[in-house]
Amino acid sequence: MKPLTLGIVGATGVVGQTALDVLGDGVLSFPVKEVRAFASAASVGKRLSWGSKSISVEATELEALAQCDAVLFASEAEISNRFIPELVARGILCVDKSSAFREDATVPLVVPEVNGALLSPAKLKSRPLVANPNCCTTPLVMVLDVIRKNFGLKRVIVSTYQSVSGAGKPGLEVLEEESRQFFMEQDLSVKPSRTFPKSIAFNVMPFVAKILPNGDTDEEQKIIFETRKILDMPDLPVEATSVRVPTFVGHAESVTVETERPVDVAALEKMIAAAKGMIAVANENPSAPAVQGNSADDSADAADVQFFPTPRESQGRDEVLVGRLRTAKVFANGVSLWLVSDNLRKGAALNALQVVEACASEGFFN
Ligand SMILES: NC(=O)c1ccc[n+]([C@@H]2O[C@H](COP(=O)([O-])OP(=O)(O)OC[C@H]3O[C@@H](n4cnc5c(N)ncnc54)[C@H](OP(=O)(O)O)[C@@H]3O)[C@@H](O)[C@H]2O)c1
């Protein structure tokens, strides 16, 4: 397989840095010749690490991007719109983490475990552009796909509990600043910050992004639209409520699904455990709990997550953790569950790199 030169636009941001971490972890099967980091003019010359290598941030310019085999866009939609059309016209694979192309019916929106079949070179050669979903949609469709295949899917109700890193580097900074301020000044007044419309420390907000005319937020609409597109079920009824919570990394979701057929919850747990990229966490409260109290090792083995998964346990992991599986009582047939996933890894950087990996193994770069 040809070793790739990979560009990362937005390399200094939380998703870009996570992409560098994932590449350094060596979990991907394609060979990398070189990683080139791109960001805004303010970051040019900054040093970033990728594995044991140190690389210098470059200005985001077309001719430099065009020297890459594949470019991961982890910046604003405006930057994706500015550079991707020309790069794609030159045959360079672009994987876009922004929302710029997700709604374009001609652009595949891909979670490899669910609809990776869209990544065949025959389909991509004429226009090598792949969009990546919102960080809540990705783990959601992975679970829904298993439910759909085994029990049929009729209706989905989801509430999210989204960490501040979903709002990028500034979100992390604001939670840290507000928390410090509370402990120093005991000030619990609610006020806007530069990132969120109200204080997020010691608070929760049923508001992510902006309110639309129909009363949903932009984030909720993304989850609804993207779920239907990835599952190829344009009429699937989906109700979403997106909530920002004061956690740093890891998004959680409470999901209730109406199914076509009765759900055998124990069988579903086994199916989730067997599915690629997911771990089923059993409901039993262990007699000697391994994860209660302060675990020093947040990246412990899957077996160490017991009883129910939490966002902090998802941090740094590649898998979606699924727990609290139980029969839904409001529908004749259905199931309720809780999931958590690292929004920066599977919710963003890892999924994008897995798209490159799938394209490489399908022979796109040969
Ligand atoms: N955070 C998540 O959980 C998540 C999940 C899924 C998708 N996404 C999407 O991924 C993208 C990146 O999000 P993030 O959370 O990583 O944001 P972030 O931490 O705020 O990082 C933004 C990145 O964009 C770069 N940038 C800003 N202006 C630029 C310009 N003019 N030219 C080139 N680069 C520029 C920044 O560079 P400087 O450091 O130089 O300013 C930084 O590297 C967004 O589209 C977001 O919607 C994020």
What's the rounded Cα separation, in Å, for the pair 175 and 159?
Answer: 21
* Statement to judge: residues 261 and 290 lie in one domain: yes
Q: Does residue 202 or residue 295 have the better pLDDT?
A: 202
Domain with 238, as residue range(s), is 137-163+204-342
Residue range 22-77, pLDDT digits in tens? 999 989 999 999 999 999 999 999 999 998 999 999 999 999 999 999 999 999 99
* Statement to judge: residues 217 and 306 lie in one domain: yes
* Statement to judge: residues 40 and 142 lie in one domain: no
pLDDT over 70 percentage in the chain: 95
- Residue at 216 is within a domain: yes
- Residue at 182 is within a domain: no
Identify each DSSP E strand in the chain by its residue range. 4-9, 32-39, 47-50, 53-59, 70-73, 93-96, 129-131, 153-162, 238-244, 251-259, 278-280, 320-327, 334-341
Of the pLDDT bands very low, low, confident and very high (cuts 50, 70, 90), residue 302 is: low
- Residue at 171 is within a domain: no
Does 294 score more than 80 pLDDT?
A: no
Residue 41 in contact with ligand 1 by CB distance below 6 A: no
Q: What is the pLDDT of residue 296?
A: 38
* Statement to judge: residues 280 and 149 lie in one domain: yes
Cβ(9)–Cβ(75) below 8 Å = yes
Instruction: Kindly report the protein residue whose alpha carbon is nearest to atom 35 of ligand 1.
Output: 40
Q: What is the pLDDT of residue 298?
A: 41
Q: What is the DSSP letter of 240?
A: E
* Statement to judge: residues 148 and 275 lie in one domain: yes
How many helices and strands in the chain, by DSSP H and E?
A: 11, 13
| Mean pLDDT for the stretch of residues 320-331 | 97
Of the pLDDT bands very low, low, confident and very high (cuts 50, 70, 90), residue 1 is: confident
Give the HSE-up count for residue 118: Cα atoms under 13 Å, Cβ half-sphere: 22
Residue range 329-346, pLDDT digits in tens? 999 999 999 999 999 999
Instruction: Kindly report the protein residue whose alpha carbon is nearest to atom 1 of ligand 1.
Output: 166
* Statement to judge: residues 74 and 222 lie in one domain: no
Adjacent-strand bridge partners of 103? none
Q: What is the pLDDT of residue 283?
A: 82
Q: Which of 8, 9, 15 to mutate to test the pocket of ligand 1 (most atoms within 8 A of CB)?
A: 15
* Statement to judge: residues 151 and 37 lie in one domain: no
What's the rounded Cα separation, in Å, for the pair 227 and 156?
Answer: 10
CATH (domain of 220) = 3.30.360.10
Q: Write down the residue that tokens 């030159």 correspond to.
A: 90
What's the rounded Cα separation, in Å, for the pair 31 and 23?
Answer: 10
Q: Which of 76, 80, 111, 340 to mutate to test the pocket of ligand 1 (most atoms within 8 A of CB)?
A: 76
Residues involved in catalysis: 135, 251
- Residue at 233 is within a domain: yes
Secondary structure (3-state) at 313: helix
Structure tokens at 240: 């979403």
Ligand 1 centroid to residue 224 C-alpha, Å: 23
- Residue at 187 is within a domain: no
Instruction: Kindly report the protein residue whose alpha carbon is nearest to atom 27 of ligand 1.
Output: 40
* Statement to judge: residues 226 and 285 lie in one domain: yes
Residue range 270-288, pLDDT digits in tens? 999 999 999 999 887 665 4
| Mean pLDDT for the stretch of residues 186-194 | 92
Q: How far apart are the first and last CA of the chain?
A: 7
Q: What is the pLDDT of residue 169?
A: 97
Does 297 score more than 80 pLDDT?
A: no
* Statement to judge: residues 87 and 230 lie in one domain: no
What's the rounded Cα separation, in Å, for the pair 195 and 62?
Answer: 30
Ligand 1 centroid to residue 7 C-alpha, Å: 14
Q: What is the pLDDT of residue 299?
A: 42
* Statement to judge: residues 129 and 150 lie in one domain: no
Q: What is the DSSP letter of 302?
A: G
* Statement to judge: residues 232 and 129 lie in one domain: no
- Residue at 184 is within a domain: no
Q: What is the pLDDT of residue 295?
A: 38
Residue range 249-273, pLDDT digits in tens? 999 999 999 999 999 999 999 999 9
Cβ(76)–Cβ(98) below 8 Å = yes
Does 290 score more than 80 pLDDT?
A: no
Structure tokens at 345: 């890894």
**Burial status of residue 284 (CB atoms within 10 A of its CB: 0-12, 13-18, 19 or more):** exposed
CATH (domain of 105) = 3.40.50.720
What's the rounded Cα separation, in Å, for the pair 10 and 18?
Answer: 11
Adjacent-strand bridge partners of 160? 242, 253
* Statement to judge: residues 265 and 128 lie in one domain: no
Backbone Cα Rg of the chain: 20
Ligand 1 centroid to residue 58 C-alpha, Å: 15
Residue range 352-365, pLDDT digits in tens? 999 999 999 999 99
- Residue at 22 is within a domain: yes
Angle at which helices 218-231 and 137-151 cross, to 10°: 40
Residue range 105-150, pLDDT digits in tens? 999 999 999 999 999 988 898 999 999 999 999 999 999 999 999 9
Number of domains in the chain: 2
| Mean pLDDT for the stretch of residues 86-97 | 97
| Mean pLDDT for the stretch of residues 304-319 | 93
Ligand 1 centroid to residue 12 C-alpha, Å: 8
Instruction: Kindly report the protein residue whose alpha carbon is nearest to atom 38 of ligand 1.
Output: 40
Secondary structure (3-state) at 112: helix
Q: What is the pLDDT of residue 287?
A: 59
DSSP-assigned states of every residue in 133-154: --TTHHHHHHHHHHHHHHH-EE
| Mean pLDDT for the stretch of residues 237-249 | 98
Q: What is the pLDDT of residue 292?
A: 37
Q: What is the DSSP letter of 346?
A: I
What's the rounded Cα separation, in Å, for the pair 31 and 108?
Answer: 24
| pTM, entire model | 0.94
- Residue at 240 is within a domain: yes
Residue range 3-28, pLDDT digits in tens? 999 999 999 999 999 999 999 998 99
Of the pLDDT bands very low, low, confident and very high (cuts 50, 70, 90), residue 229 is: very high
Residue 249 in contact with ligand 1 by CB distance below 6 A: no
What's the rounded Cα separation, in Å, for the pair 268 and 290?
Answer: 25
